[in-house]
Amino acid sequence: MSTEMTAAMWTKDMSTFQVQEIIGKYEEFEREQVRKSPIRLAFSGKTNIYTASDGYSPPEGECIVPVEYFFDGYICWATGGIVKDIKHRSLLSKDPLPPIETMEGYIPPKPGDDGTGWKFQMGFVAKARDEDLAYIFSTSSISGVGAVRQLLREITSKASEAENYRPVILFTSDSFMAKGHKAYRPVFHVVDWV
């Protein structure tokens, strides 16, 4: 799946006005949720652990992931943490991301890099099914972006055959071998559709 997703993938019979309305709702929702419950969710491929911001626990129960709340963009990593988190856009947006090379301070990656610098990222907002909490999951790892894309493929398949195409997921994981070592990747296990 291309990193440049188009609105047409999600808007089978929607007018331009409806698409813009959905994008507006996404942006409004993200602004409100960031203020009300800023629960950033991350996954470590080294430790197999989900972590949540501000003292919250990662979700243990089911979460609903509205299609409108998927996003992509770029993130700039520095040793020890994130320097900049910039240029998010809804995947429903018709505006393409600018080339990563145009990001301020961009340096092309070199073999053996420690993972710092600008990276492509993907993510989504998941609302806890039984609580008034929203989690903003984002990832720039290859396996994490692959997991987000896998969830999008499942949604695309479901949307073509049914009206209920918003997945209800559990945040899980599985392991794989990478460079001779055991590593972990996030898995978004779909348990229901609403």
Residue 108 lies in a domain: no
Residue 131 lies in a domain: yes
164: left (phi over 0), alpha (psi -120 to 50) or beta: beta
Is pLDDT of 75 > 80? yes
- Dihedral angle sign, alpha carbons of residues 156, 158, 161, 166: negative
Residue 157 lies in a domain: yes
Do residues 68 and 93 make contact, with C-beta atoms less than 8 angstroms apart?
A: no
Please tell me whether residue 131 adopts helix, strand or coil conformation: coil
Separation of alpha carbons 93 and 97, rounded Å: 10
Range of the domain at 139: 7-102+113-193
Residue 1 lies in a domain: no
Q: What total of structural domains would you count in the chain?
A: 1
State residue 115's pLDDT score.
66
State residue 111's pLDDT score.
67
Do residues 32 and 134 make contact, with C-beta atoms less than 8 angstroms apart?
A: no
Q: What end-to-end distance do the CA atoms of the chain give, in Å?
A: 24
Residue 2 lies in a domain: no
Residue 50 lies in a domain: yes
CA angle centred on 39, ends 38 and 41, rounded to 5°: 140
Could you report the per-residue pLDDT of 146-171, keeping only the tens digit for each?
999 999 999 988 888 878 889 999 99
179 CB-contact burial (10 Å; exposed 0-12 / middle 13-18 / buried 19+): exposed
Residue 68 lies in a domain: yes
Its pTM stands at 0.76
Separation of alpha carbons 103 and 185, rounded Å: 27
Helix (H) or strand (E) holding 35: helix 16-36
Separation of alpha carbons 88 and 102, rounded Å: 15
Residue 93 lies in a domain: yes
Could you report the per-residue pLDDT of 16-51, keeping only the tens digit for each?
344 444 445 555 555 555 445 558 899 998 899 999
